[in-house]
Structure 1
Amino acid sequence: MQTDIIDQSLLALLRDDARASTSDLARRLGLSRSTVQSRLNKMLEKGIINGFTVQLGEHYSNSLIRAHVLLILDQKQVGRAQAGLKRISSVTALYAISGTHDMIAMVEAHSTAELNGLLDQIGDLEGIERTTSSVLLETKFER
C-alpha cells in the first residue's frame, strides 16, 4: 500500500508511542490535529494500521521465557496445524518461512515447566510432524 513521507513519519511516531494523542502527533509533525486524525482514519480504513497494541514493560517482559519453535508440517494438514496453533494463547506469532522448516512460532511462558508443557501441546497438534525450539536468552533490542 502506498504511503507518503508524512504517513511514514506518523507511523514511526506511533511505533514509539501508540498512546500519543492526536494533538501531540500533530505538534510533532507540524500539522493540524484534523489532518493527523484524517490520515489516521485513512490508514485504518486501508488496513495500513490494523490496530493498536500493548508493549509489555521491561520488568514484566524479562520475567517471561520466550522461545522460537521451528515447525515441520504435514503438508496435507497445514490448515489444521495453523488453526491449532492459533487457539494456543501462548503462541504469540506464527510465520511461514523458507528453508528446511515450514513455519516458526513465537511462544512465551512463565516458567520452564510451562514452556515444556506448551512444547508438548504444540507437538501433539494434528499436522505437526516435528519441532525444534530455541529459548531466547536476552533481547538486545526490539522495535
Structure 2
Amino acid sequence: MSGPGNEQGFRLTDKDKQLLALLQKNAREPTSSLARKIGVSRTALQERIQRLESAGVIEGYSVRINHSKLIYTVNCFTMAVCNNKTYSDVIAQMRTMEAVQAVYAISGDWDFVIHVATETLEKLNTELTRINMIKGVVRTTSCIVMETKFDRRLAFMGRMGANLLENAGDLPDAGQEGVQAAD
C-alpha cells in the first residue's frame, strides 16, 4: 500500500476523521457540502475520498435501514457455543440465512453473538430452530429486543478518542445533530 498507511493500519488525519464521520452519517451528501464542512476544496475532498477508498479504509457504501420504522420487525440477539474451533461450517451456514444480519465472534463462554431479524415471532422461532440445527452448534440462548434506546451504528475507527457523532455544532455548517470532529 502506498501513502501514509502501512501493514499495521492507515494513519488518519483530523480531516479524514471528520470526513469519515460525515460519510457515515450521510454518504449521499454532496461533495461540495462535505468540503465546506471540513474546510477543504471540493477537489481536495474528492482526492481524499479516493485515497481512503484506494487504501481500503472506505470499503463501500450501503443503506442503513431504520428497523424501528418498519412494521413487524422482530430483532433478536442469540449467543451460540460451537463444538469446534474452526467455525467455518457454522459461519457458512449462517451466511446463507437471510434473517441473520450479523455474526460477531466474542470472548468468554460463548463463541458468537448472532443478530437475527424477522417479520414475526413465528418466523423468528423458525430461524432460531435452523441455527440450532446447524452441525457444530452445541447450544444457544436468545434475547428478543423489546425496545431500542439508541443506536449509533458507527464502525470502530481506531484510537481516535471521543465519539465523532455526538455533537454536530462543532463542525462548520453542521446545523443538525450528529457530527463532531475528534481532536
- TM band (smaller chain): over 0.9
Higher mean displacement: 4-13 or 17-26: 17-26
Q: Which has the higher helix share?
A: 1
Of 62, 66, 72, the residue aligned with 1:53 is: 62
Aligned counterpart in structure 2 of residue 70 of structure 1, from 65, 79, 97: 79
5+ unaligned residues in a row in structure 2: which ranges? 1-9, 153-183
The 3-state SS of whatever aligns with 2:87 is helix
- Answering whether residue 51 of structure 2 is matched by residue 39 of structure 1, we say no
In structure 1, stretches of 5+ residues that fail to align are: none
Q: Deviations over 1:17-66 (max 9, x none)?
A: 12111111111111111111111111112121111111224412x63110
Look up the SS of the partner of 1:67 in the other structure. Answer: strand
Cα gap change, 1:98 to 1:76, in 2 (>3 Å)? closer
Question: Which digits, 9 at most, give the CA deviation of each residue in 1:64-89, with x for residues without a partner?
Answer: 11011101012155110011111112
Rounded to whole Å, the distance in 2 between the matches of 1:43 and 1:130 is 41
Matched with 1:127 is 136
Give the letter aligned to residue 63 of structure 1: Y
Residue 29 in structure 1 maps to residue 67 in structure 2: no
Quote the RMSD (CA, aligned, Å).
Answer: 1.3
